[in-house]
Amino acid sequence: MLTPEQAQEFAREWIDAWNSHDLERILSHYEDDFEMSSPVIIQTMGEPSGRLKGKELVSVYWGRALARYPELHFDQKHVMVGVDSVTIIYNGVRGLSAEVFHFGVSGRVSSAFAHYGA
């Protein structure tokens, strides 16, 4: 189980990685075979399920996002901790957003789910 301090540290580092626009730094938080789910995957990658599996595919997706939004900046609002999971609520290029992260035994993210304000 993650402590509130560990959840806050993960959130700080994750936000900082995205704000640095360093794709390798961003990907360092994830297991090699992690699964990402986002409604934006449908539009950006043409994947109707909204899911991608593995760093290779997700790095293409995120690389496109970083290229499309050179001004990309996340502003952390809240961090919530669960059982082996963290939710970060932030403002980003799509407005109010939340991402839910589930951690594997490695201590890195095994699955992530992005949500955007309606």
Report pLDDT digits (tens) over 42-96: 989 999 999 999 999 999 999 999 999 999 999 999 999 999 999 999 999 999 9
One-letter amino acid for residue 58 of the chain: V
Which DSSP category does 71 fall into? T
- E strands, the chain, in order: 30-37, 51-53, 75-82, 85-92, 95-103, 109-116
Query: ∠33-14-63 over CA atoms, to 5°?
Result: 60
Confidence of residue 118 (pLDDT cuts 50, 70, 90): confident
Considering the entire predicted model, what is its pTM? 0.94
- Which of 49, 46, 13 is closest to 30 using CA atoms? 13
Mean pLDDT of 5-17: 97
